Structure 1
């Protein structure tokens, strides 16, 4: 299957509703100003039954780790392109009207010395 990468702004994609079979977001929902706006636009351009594949930072389910994420987020945003590692991205995907069919939560350290952050990897569908 051929894949075409296209230009566009996530909050206003220049495509008709239902134009795509699938969309991928990878480490972007943590840094956009309003992930709900981007997710709503992705839902609009996906056909019914279309797939949203995601790999994102998420807020930890561990209360201690979640508080640590809250504490590092202001400095992290300055150093990492406005990334907010404490967002509840799974909830945002569901709130945008997607149905999460598969999701794996795990802690991952991107590089030696970097903090270990909770991530999710999964598949959601537009009903």
Structure 2
């Protein structure tokens, strides 16, 4: 049984993502994955857009994706990846991985759309070894009250057209509250300041022992 289905969004997202790559997201993904080593779990891999950005220091990527159409595309992308990638059906809230099995976890524009972001982060912490890294690239709730009001208004319809994506999740706060020590983070607007999903954070957190 398919765990998540967003057939319309799954057809559109690769085109949207390609436009984002051309506008600068490709550089963001390079920054996100720079220096990653060892065994990696990628949570919500979508159609596998990150795969080409993994450095050769990665020994294996286990990519989790619940949406069947996106997962099929990810399987195709895995065959062209520069590192070994295995695509697995699963959800962020119940990751198919053993405790402390991974050196690095990657979330990339996914914690906005999982059903329970706090549960997902607990699962990420569970499957990471002590001291393991969480690399995150997420759009988040804005820091300005006026922009947050704008996000809340748009958020009435946004999840319906964007595969369940929520505009007002303070994912950066949730990461710190989930047992991670944030070592670096960069805040920026992308692709344009007025876009409701433009507030982003990109960084590295480490699982506390």
Normalising by structure 2, we get a TM-score of 0.56
Listed as ranges, the matches of 1:1-127 within 5 Å are 1=57, 2-6=59-63, 7=88, 8-109=90-191, 115=196, 117-127=198-208
On the 8 A contact 1:57/1:86 being kept in 2, the answer is no
Q: Which has the higher contact order (CA 8 A, sep 6+)?
A: 1
Query: What SS does the aligned partner of 2:183 have?
Result: strand
CA distance in 2, matches of 1:115, 1:9: 26
Q: What 5-or-longer segments of structure 2 have no aligned partner? A: 1-56, 64-87
CA distance in 1, matches of 2:129, 2:158: 36
CA distance in 1, matches of 2:141, 2:196: 13
Instruction: Give per-residue Cα distances to partners, 1:22-56, cap 9 Å, x unaligned.
Output: 01000100001110011000000000100000010
Aligned CA RMSD, in angstroms, stands at: 1.7
Query: What SS does the aligned partner of 2:131 have?
Result: strand
CA distance in 1, matches of 2:129, 2:197: 36
On the 8 A contact 2:102/2:129 being kept in 1, the answer is yes
Label 1:40 to 1:123 Cα distance change in 2 as closer, same or farther (>3 A): same
Normalising by structure 1, we get a TM-score of 0.91
Instruction: Give per-residue Cα distances to partners, 1:56-105, cap 9 Å, x unaligned.
Output: 01111111111111111111111111111211001111111111111111
Moved over 4 A (4+): 113-116
Q: What 5-or-longer segments of structure 1 have no aligned partner? A: none
Query: What SS does the aligned partner of 1:85 have?
Result: coil
Size of the aligned set, in residue pairs, is 125
Q: Please identify the structure whose Cα radius of gyration is greater.
A: 2
